[in-house]
Amino acid sequence: MTDLIGISPALLFGQLFIGLINGSFYALMSLGVAIIFGMLRIGNFVHGAQYMLGAFGAWYLYNLPTLFPGLGLPSINYWWALILVPIGVAAIGALMERVFIRKVYDLDHAYGLLLTVGLAMLIEGLFNVRYGAAGQRYDVPELLRGGVNLGFMFLPYYRAWVVVAAVVVCFGTWFLIERTKLGSYLRAATENPDLVRAFGINVPRMLMLTYAFGVGLAGFAGVMAAPIYQVGPQMGQSIIITIFAVVVIGGMGSISGAIFSGLMMGLIEGLTKVFYPQASTTVIFILMAIILVLRPAGLFGRDTSVHSVADVSSGRSGSILENGRLWFVILLAVGSILPFMLFPIFAMKILCFALFAMAYNLIFGYGGLLAFGHAAFFGAASYVAAHMAAVWGVPPELCILAGVCASTVLGALFGWLAIRRQGLYFAMITLALAQIVYFYAVQADWTHGEDGIQSVPRGMLFGFIDLSNAMTMYYVMLAVFLAAFAFLYRVLHSPFGQTLKSIRENEARSISLGYSTDNYKLIAFTLSAALSGLAGSMKAIIFQIASLADVYFMTSADALLMTLIGGVGTLLGPVVGAAVVVTLQTKLATFGAWVVVMQGAIFVLCVLFLRKGIVGTLEEFLSNRITRQSDRAVAGEVDGKAKSGIAS
């Protein structure tokens, strides 16, 4: 039986119920993220990995006899796992907070987010090494097997239990934080820790327990998800981006917003699967964009008029390492002989990603805005250039130009949507918008899904330069890279660049001087997107392929990692970082899944111990050395005058 629009009631209610189940997990996960951000001001990107730990914890307890056959351990069922695993995951979270998270509380919020990204890569990578991509089965507990036929749909008992348990836990948590004395202590400890300490409360311990509690909610969600979804290393990675979109919709740090938005987004996702299945994976991100246009702080967030941009730059004006003219000549000389020392394809990869990292550094290092969506610009340009060359037979120069134009338009649109928000809001908005591009690339016919666009012809540049020759292609890439390097140097040393730096360092002062800071940041973001598109277009022509990897989140993470390793806000840093990361990825490729583990470890180490990067640390060393020499010279001059006075 179908209704007037041809939709079966069983299909409609079935998808709504599936949406409610997904919404229950969204609400639980978003609640943990909101608590941690609201109390600790940390964007806990490792939350997905902790959710995965909860699912694996339940699986481990159930399979103890087979995992450790010689010890005679009993199998621990689902109900005990529902109690023990969240406690265990919370304990791991407490240890993680004490060892890692606590070290970035006093730093800019960007560092907390970057640290948790690295920890997520590290944990998920280790489980991927051990278990691969395949999922592990976890059976529904015997008490909740089967279901009941309601006439209009079949209701499985376990899924009904998940919804009820999630709602009870969510509203119980809301009551604890918003309506009890303990909750008031937690809020006070984050807003005025010195006052709370005066009452004899151990604030660091309270913050550690808050983080552990938020992580425990992720572990609880993981246990409940184990019988529904396969237990695998990637299960957290597939949900965490959606969770951050839900949190942004509700309002970062809003407890009630996280619960309401999680449940509602799940239902909307279920309805979309009924009426327009192709949009079900992107509807949450589209709604997020619409809501943020109307309410920049989210549905339940509190809007503020305070503009704050992260000053994460490690560059020093006047340093020899910031002398663009000198380094242009050096890069030209080194680049000219590089293909005789390395394989041309490898050398081109370094230059291509150095260009991408320089583009990213423009907005992060000099604009102070942590973006997580630059893969959208890189990948979109790659697809456009590849399609025009492979399908339409367009000359390479026009393919590259079209790719740059596509990324520029996309950057202007994304920037207009995101630029009004700062800090973690900006990072999450750019990430969510990039996911729309990713899901579009997965589903569009012309992108060929997982196969990508292959066998892209290099063609004849300007009708007479044969790019099929590897050496010719390399020197074209070198010319593009050097032109982009010179362009960025000129931009950064123009009045626009100096104003952009002043906005990064003190936005409130720039506003008081009459500058429209949002316009400056939007222009910088659009320029960054255009240069990212240039890198993506060149990549498609050089490697003759455009694939989903180009628009995937990890491509954005690679640009961020290159910038971090080289030195945020330094002219030469992205080039050095790209050379290091591309070399490591190539040399470590034989280690397979261990590459992600190593990248995660590098992320963590850079945030904790090498925040200035290689070039930034070297600049600081040279600056300190010059200062010491100057001090010694002044001291020697004073001492000489003193001795002269005594002698006279």
For 394-449, the pLDDT digits (tens) are 999 999 999 999 999 999 999 998 887 777 778 888 988 898 999 999 999 999 99
How much is the pLDDT for 4?
A: 43
How much is the pLDDT for 306?
A: 41
| Phi, psi at 145, each rounded to 5° | -80, 155
224 has a pLDDT exceeding 90 = yes
How much is the pLDDT for 154?
A: 84
What span, in angstroms and rounded, lies between the C-alpha atoms of 44 and 30? 10
DSSP-H helix ranges across 41-180: 47-62, 64-67, 78-99, 109-131, 157-179
643 has a pLDDT exceeding 80 = no
Q: Are 532 and 524 in contact (CB under 8 A)?
A: no
341 has a pLDDT exceeding 80 = yes
Q: What is the mean pLDDT of the chain?
A: 88
How much is the pLDDT for 631?
A: 63
Q: Are 300 and 251 in contact (CB under 8 A)?
A: yes
538, amino acid identity: M
How much is the pLDDT for 8?
A: 75
DSSP-H helix ranges across 544-612: 553-566, 573-587, 594-609
Comparing CA positions, the residue from 161, 264, 215, 283 lying closest to residue 39 is: 215
Ranges assigned E (strand) in 145-247 = 147-149, 154-156
645 has a pLDDT exceeding 80 = no
Comparing CA positions, the residue from 25, 347, 66 lying closest to residue 170 is: 25
**Across 108-122, average pLDDT:** 88
Strand (E) or helix (H) holding 520: helix 517-543
54 has a pLDDT exceeding 60 = yes
Long-range contacts of 321-325 (CB under 8 A, 24+ apart): 321/570, 321/571, 321/572, 321/615, 321/618, 321/619, 321/622, 322/570, 322/571, 322/572, 322/619, 324/485, 324/486, 324/489, 324/493, 324/571, 325/489
How much is the pLDDT for 305?
A: 42
599 has a pLDDT exceeding 70 = yes
What fold is seen in the domain 9-294?
A: ABC transporter involved in vitamin B12 uptake, BtuC (1.10.3470)
CA torsion through residues 29, 191, 109, 527, sign = positive
What confidence category does residue 98 fall into, taking pLDDT thresholds of 50, 70 and 90?
very high
Q: Could you tell me the pTM of the whole model?
A: 0.88
320 has a pLDDT exceeding 80 = no
**Across 201-220, average pLDDT:** 89
Beta bridge partners of 155: 148
What span, in angstroms and rounded, lies between the C-alpha atoms of 506 and 517? 11
Where do the domains of the chain lie? 9-294, 320-552
**Across 450-464, average pLDDT:** 94
How much is the pLDDT for 190?
A: 61
**Across 221-250, average pLDDT:** 90
Is 133 or 258 the better-scoring residue by pLDDT? 258
6, amino acid identity: G
Is 437 or 588 the better-scoring residue by pLDDT? 437
Lowest mean pLDDT among 183-187, 238-242, 431-435, 640-644: 640-644
How much is the pLDDT for 636?
A: 67
Residue linked to tokens 């099929």? 468
Comparing CA positions, the residue from 306, 305, 304, 312 lying closest to residue 504 is: 312
Is 635 or 485 the better-scoring residue by pLDDT? 485
Ranges assigned E (strand) in 449-504 = 460-461, 465-466
How much is the pLDDT for 374?
A: 95
Six-digit token pair at 381? Answer: 């340009």
Q: Are 92 and 215 in contact (CB under 8 A)?
A: yes
- Of all residues in the chain, the percent with pLDDT exceeding 70 is 91
105 has a pLDDT exceeding 90 = no
Is 181 or 93 the better-scoring residue by pLDDT? 93
Is 153 or 212 the better-scoring residue by pLDDT? 212
What span, in angstroms and rounded, lies between the C-alpha atoms of 170 and 29? 10
CA torsion through residues 218, 222, 225, 231, sign = positive
What confidence category does residue 638 fall into, taking pLDDT thresholds of 50, 70 and 90?
low
CA torsion through residues 204, 210, 213, 218, sign = negative
293 has a pLDDT exceeding 70 = yes
The angle that helices 157-179 and 255-275 make with each other, rounded to 10 degrees, is 150
How much is the pLDDT for 621?
A: 80
Is 385 or 254 the better-scoring residue by pLDDT? 385
pLDDT tens digit string along 495-553? 999 999 898 888 888 888 888 899 999 999 999 999 999 999 999 999 999 999 999 98
